[in-house]
Structure 1
């Protein structure tokens, strides 16, 4: 019992003090008596950051002060709030501190207004912002400079914005935001470039980053500059101690104005502003004359400097009648060359001439606005004359015109029927006999030719030579596996098997097939054999079209049997 009383006498004061402190710390204190404000430096050079610190001698809500009143003259970062409590000899004191980093927008003398909490106000502060002057002898550890390639441009014209970070000390870490402009496309160009520069007798290291800005509407604008935030080594602490401290800095480049002009009212067509526009074409295979039915590949390349890839317009490419064109999806890409953006659109087409002759391919023209000379220009791909030779293997299609009735000679018309019926019948029998002899000779000749061909085929099989025959299963397998070469081979064997085509290519086969699904699928297969689109060719539609054609329109297979000598009447 004595031991318990002794322990209670020792523990009770400690518990009582703990409860008192807990009550003091948990109870918010709103009785504020003093509010102070100060800045870390004054005057300040333009581009340097100012740290504003406001302290209240009580625990107050974090949203008690509105720093938006500083937006007219400063760029205000998000403030940080710290609340603390100190107990000395049983007396507790509370404090709330707001720390906010600000960047001055222009040079001059500005007043930071008084802040008020519960009728307690701080004193206003006067801050002087001095402009940056070369040779002033006022050196900074880190500062930013920005530059525009042009501040007077057309709508949708690309302008280059360079921001350079100069620093004389060591940067532990850092981040740089992008410039901001309403209704504009902004993208970084290339990689950062490092260098050195001598400023006011001191050597500075530099990092330059380039942006491409494309405004989408006309008017007067201000480009909001990028902001650099980083940690640098404190020079003073580095001189006094081996373990140098780092400090956080915020720097901002100067804001730059631009003027964006509207598109001229006289301009017609797709609006394109560039530093240079070119058109080039290439033929594969390279040849001066084309062959009827043989596909060739035509590649037209549109290139533009100081243009994004999505700004390139469509090209109006026309061909005269007599050509079939299978155009692929245009390939659009962009790249950086010597600090400038270059965009390209590549249009690849497979072209097949249907008829021989001489054709004039029209020119390809594109209008654009030259940003270097500030005037309208046109880039033209000249037209060219193309000679198409007839295919020696494919027979030319001839159009048979109805013959005019032959006029009988006056002597024949005037002469009456003479001679007897016996003479007429005798002549008729001679003609019939001659016709029968001709039929017998033709049948005999065909039989001899068929036996010779069968003998040659059997000889080739005996000697080990492989004879190709049409196989519908092979055609189906080629279509299901999307094997274009095997499908083409089986289609040609099928055409020869049914006497649709003796020899030639898929182009010749297209001419012999009636318009329909099979004709379209054979044309697509023919185009896929000679272009980059071969990788995307699908054979399922060809197999379906061929199956439907076989069921409804295909002629019966050729037979080796001879026709009867005397057909039934």
Structure 2
């Protein structure tokens, strides 16, 4: 009897768990070819958004849009209920029969849906008064020079379930720029609702290209409130992409405007040895994205201990123009005293407005570093040691006077020796920290170069190798290798036969050969200086 009771309780628990109901439905069936519709999955339980996976619809030849998840909690006459709802936008390209498969949600399966797609004549935009115009802000650009692609849509009445497919172009990166702008316009006495959307198109290869326009679909209502599908494809535009000039030095950087300046905090007439201050370098470049911002690498030599912070990067859009900004904060501690120089920095770039090479520069700055208090004491003690004590012969001078004088001199000499050793230790520590930081940075650049070669990313490999080479004292062999990959990257036609793995192995062998020579040289110097 007890066993039957346990089984009965388990059955009740199982039935309670299995009460979750899951349903699937579509906004319309049949659907129009090229017309967006929605799939809705609803469960009467609180479930995670990850329970629904829309990727399986791709295998059924659906164009899958974004998925939104919502939850609703209601309480009626003391009875509470919760619903989780997933809504996905779908579209089919060809006429025929389609299957929306069963989904397992919360342990329950939805019922499959047989869907039929028909070709329905779309309303002529002129009749429905829906139209779209597109434009490029520049039809001739350089590699890496972003161009703004704009689409503007006019709707006279209403457009439901609107869907815009982005423009496309081979050999270019395309991303949505900023937020859409909605407005009202009156044309020939008739009011229109307008929507303006921008994309940022960054070409990565040289040549003549076609930019396929965006596609707009939706359900438009005419003056009789009859809903008919609208499918508008914008015109194809031409874009000429030029290769960078062969004479341009360094990493290619095209822009319409560039601003480079520095700040010193705190700004003082002189600084104390060992006292930290901050140098801030700010760089703003018009018309590029954060990924194209250049490295800011400055060698401060042995006069300073250098502690750079991570870059602070951001992208802003102002008056339809994209600006990429980079700020670098570097904490500097003077190691030596006297007149020290903060090195300048020069950044070559291509002025698109003048179509010529330009340079942005930070001039070297000289600062005065005074001795720290402990060093001032050291100088005083050293000068006192060099002055012979004045001895006044007095008949009454006792042996104890000479004893205390000698003890004082020995104490002062010991104090001078301790302070000098401390200064040497601080300098050695600073040199060790700078060496470790430089070594770590070099290893990081080489690791980035290795990873880029193994993953087949030529542009990233070129940039990482260039940063690593800039930090080394190497022969012209590495410069030739860097020029080789740079030429392959910016060629007007893609070099399919360029083997990145073999290229990395060649660089690795040359690096090892250079390291062996360096170690042999150090060993020879070590034998000469026992």
TM-score between both structures, scaled by the size of structure 2: 0.52
1:392 aligns with 2:377: no
Judged with a 3 Å threshold, the aligned counterparts in structure 2 of structure 1 residues 509 and 295 are, in CA distance, closer, same or farther, namely farther
* Residue-by-residue CA offset, 1:543-568 (whole Å, 9 max, x unaligned): xxxxxxxxxxxxxxxxxxxxxxxxxx
Report the alpha carbon displacement of residue 341 of structure 1 after superposing the two structures with TM: 1.2
1:379-405 per-residue CA deviation (whole Å, 9 max, x = no partner) reads 1122222122222343476799xxxxx
**Equivalent position to 1:317, from 292, 298, 316:** 298
> Which of 101, 110, 119 pairs up with 1:100?
119
**Matched position secondary structure for 2:291:** helix
Distance change >3 Å, CA 97–CA 173, structure 1 → 2: closer
In the TM superposition, residue 331 of structure 1 has moved relative to its aligned partner by: 2.2
- Note if contact 1:189-1:340 (Cα within 8 Å) is conserved in structure 2: no
Aligned equivalent of 2:211, options 223, 226, 244? 223
- Using a 3 Å threshold, how does the CA distance of structure 1 residues 368 and 332 change in structure 2: closer, same or farther? same
> Distance between the aligned counterparts of 2:97 and 2:407, measured in 1?
113
Q: Is the alpha carbon distance of 1:103 and 1:274 closer, same or farther for their aligned partners in structure 2, counting shifts above 3 Å? A: farther
CA contact 1:513–1:519 (8 Å) conserved in 2:
no
Tell me the equivalent position of 1:247: 228
Q: CA deviation at 1:371?
A: 2.1
Pick closer, same or farther for the CA change 1:214–1:510 going to 2, 3 Å: farther
Instruction: Give the structure 1 partner of residue 326 of structure 2.
Output: 345
Q: Which has the higher helix share?
A: 2
Distance in structure 1 (CA, Å) of the matches to 2:307 and 2:119? 64
Taking the aligned partners of 2:255 and 2:361, their CA distance within structure 1 comes to 16
- Whole-Å separation in 2 of the counterparts to 1:444 and 1:263: 74
Cα distance change, pair 141–391 in 1 and its aligned pair in 2 (3 A): same
Q: For each residue in 1:181-216, what CA deviation from the matched residue of structure 2 results, as whole angstroms up to 9, or x when unmatched?
A: 112111222111112334455332210001111000
Instruction: Give the whole-Å Cα distance in 2 for the aligned partners of 1:313 and 1:148.
Output: 26
> Given the superposition, is the C-alpha separation of residues 154 and 397 from structure 1 closer, same or farther in structure 2, using an over 3 Å criterion?
farther
How many aligned residue pairs are there?
317
What is residue 81 of structure 1 aligned with on the other side?
A: 96
In 1, are the aligned partners of 2:378 and 2:419 still within 8 Å (CA)?
Answer: no
Report how far residue 142 of structure 1 moved. Answer: 1.2
1:146 is aligned to 2:134: yes
Whether 1:370 aligns to 2:351 is yes
Does the CA-based 8 Å contact 2:265-2:277 persist in structure 1? yes
Separation of aligned partners in 2, 1:235 and 1:268: 62
Cα gap change, 1:511 to 1:337, in 2 (>3 Å): farther
Q: Distance in 1 between matches of 2:329 and 2:177?
A: 29
Equivalent position of 1:439 in the other structure: 403
Going from structure 1 to structure 2, the CA distance change for 1:434 and 1:290 (only over 3 Å counts) comes to same
Give me the whole-angstrom Cα distance separating, in 2, the residues matched to 1:207 and 1:314.
Answer: 38
- Which residue of the other structure, out of 241, 246, 258, is the alignment partner of 1:265? 246
Distance 1:363 1:444 in 2: 49
Equivalent residue for 1:211, pick from 199, 203, 206: 199
Cα separation, 1, equivalents of 2:294 and 2:432: 34
| TM-score, structure 1 as length reference | 0.49
Task: Compare CA radii of gyration and give the structure with the larger one.
Answer: 1
The whole-number CA distance in structure 1 between the counterparts of 2:194 and 2:167 is: 18
Contact 1:103-1:252 at 8 Å conserved across structures: no
Q: Which runs of 5+ in 1 are unaligned?
A: 1-39, 41-48, 51-75, 84-95, 105-128, 133-137, 239-244, 401-432, 447-495, 503-507, 525-569
Q: Does 1:280 align with 2:261?
A: yes
User: 5+ unaligned residues in a row in structure 2: which ranges?
Assistant: 1-31, 36-90, 99-114, 383-396, 438-530
Which secondary structure state, in structure 2, belongs to the residue aligned with residue 263 of structure 1?
A: coil
